Chain A
Amino acid sequence: MLLPTDFELHRPTTVAEAAALRAELGDTAALYAGGTELLLAMKLGVLEYEHLIDVKRIPALRGIERRDGELRIGAAVTHRELETLPDLPALAHLERHVANVRVRAAGTLAGNLAFGEPHADPPALLVALGARVALVGASASRELPVEDFLTGPYETELGEDELIEAVIVPVDGAVRAAYRKFQVLERPAVGVAAAGRLDGRVFDGAPVVVAGAVDERPVRIPADALAGAAYDDPDALAALAAAAAEAVEPVDDLSGSEAYKRHLTGVLAQRAVLALRGEG
């Protein structure tokens, strides 16, 4: 089977070359890395492009750099390469459970963000960790928090003339993080990430708790009840679960009813917070 539409394939080897192609080709072109989302949509005829710009052959996008307490994950780094990441155990744990082994071998973290699929694992944790995306265009570069980059289902702030250069994740040894999800089909029904500082068993400030996959965008769950509380304080956790169930706006679908997903969000918020004692 051929993809339904013919396209020209561009294989730049530098970021500058890719940015120039983006500027020249505009919305007739799509960025192409693992293809795990894009090729599916093209096979179904949902998306059509005259040009694909393959970013996998750009060496500068293939590495993971540690710089100034941050991890710069190049845009062509696959899920699989992040499964064994030592710096961020919570992200490595999440990556080990993205889709299946074949998707993890081909798909990239940056591609996952750029496609803007709401039913995805990484966004919730990246938002909880305060991650950013580094965008580069032919004439300018900028950085945006992942939270602002993802604007809606299949919609992002990525300009027609831009590409993602890296996903930047702060690494702070004092911040513990965890992601917990529930999934019956190929994509998570609900996933909740938590990140926070613990002084022994007690939270130093409130943790950041973010629900993903359940709404059109990642949703912050108010977690004030946990500020200064023990990580396993039953009253604080009950308040968190109630706040989580309120914070999201799920829709009924094959992954579950609205009410069920509200319940799941509360349960997973508690599990993510409880997992902070273990990390991962």
Chain B
Amino acid sequence: MVPKIQFEDKAHIFLFLSGLSVIFITIGIIETLLGESVEFFQEVAASRGWFDFDIEFKGLMSQYGMASGVFLLCYASMILVRKNPNLRTKIPQTMVLLPPKAVFALYLVAFILFIYFDNILLGISMFCLIFTWKFIADVSFDDDFVQQKFGLQKTLFALGIASFSLAITTNYSGALGEFFFQSQWTPTGSCPDRRSLCENMSFGINSLLFTTIQVAFGALLIAVPIGVGCAIFLSEYAQPRLVAVVKPTLEILAGIPSVVYGFFAFIYIGPIVVEFGEYAFTQGWIDEPPNILNPINGAIVVGIMILPLIASMSEDALRAVPNELREGSLALGATKIETTVFVMIQAALSGIIASIILALSRAVGETMAVTLAVGTVAVFTTNMFLPAQTMTAYIAQKVSGDLSYGDIGYLTIFAVGLYLFFITLSLNLLGNKILTNFREEY
């Protein structure tokens, strides 16, 4: 009798092929996006050249110049403190020693500035300033600390050079310069033939990117406190019976389709935001009357959307912390809230941060709710009560009109999609890396 092993020998080949299909899909995604984007850049470059800029040192007085100054100051002071052990003792301790709450408040201020500044690098530089201050303060107490945080120094240098070069160069043009540095997005300019490229068109993605960042970080502002608070409450305080009610509710909230959230934002959140905007307009805080479609509306609705994601992932992270830590802290005489804040959150921090980063990636990629809530006007403005357009909303708007393959409008959606893909991919990689590498092993 012949044993039936023929399929068993081949089973793993079939299974391997199905595993391999994932690689093909990924290659397919990258390759289609890259192929069409390269065609887009080639077409733009054919009429404008690849990359072009003028050097003007007046730009040092601009915001970029200020940012580069801050970066290089941070870098220089870090180098000084690191290289000169004598200097450390000379630093007056009252000057550098900030109470932790003040540092936290400063972080908050920097974060808000980061969202509302026109200039992203200036916002980041504020962060780095506080970082460096804290670094110097730490260094003056602890000598071992000097060896750490070498990555920050390199990053500071790179950012300083980047903002310096941005400051002294002006008038970026050509395909790459226009796409990555300019902020006027008019892919359908007033041209004789609107399908083909002409001089009136402008492809500066920064206006789309800026609104995307506004919406995503605004959503985090709403979702992180509520989501993390909800997770802590569910894992530390709530009765099991309450958890049995709240957890499925959060799962239902996570399951509701995004277009329904968009509908909700359109008919309900928009009018409420407009009321606030009108109050702000009568007070003179904003210079134009608000519109029912605006980034705040989008930020609120995306915040509600990503709330269950943050809550459930953070709760998982908190539940994974072994009970011994909690009991040890309670046995030392800490109250429950002290245990939660100083032990549990510290132990689960990597999981919580990873959940926030993955939620950020979800918020950046969210389409339908944002399309219905934020609007379809691509402008670069800090007034968050006016309609704007995110990257995903641009793609959605472009494809719902008439789209003919091969014209410039068709190619732009792939360029925007590629940029979006890389942003979310790097956020996902970061989140998963934090989740796996920085997990505390107990």
Bind each other: no
Which B residues are closer than 8 A to A by beta carbons? none
List residues of A whose CB falls within 8 A of some B CB. none
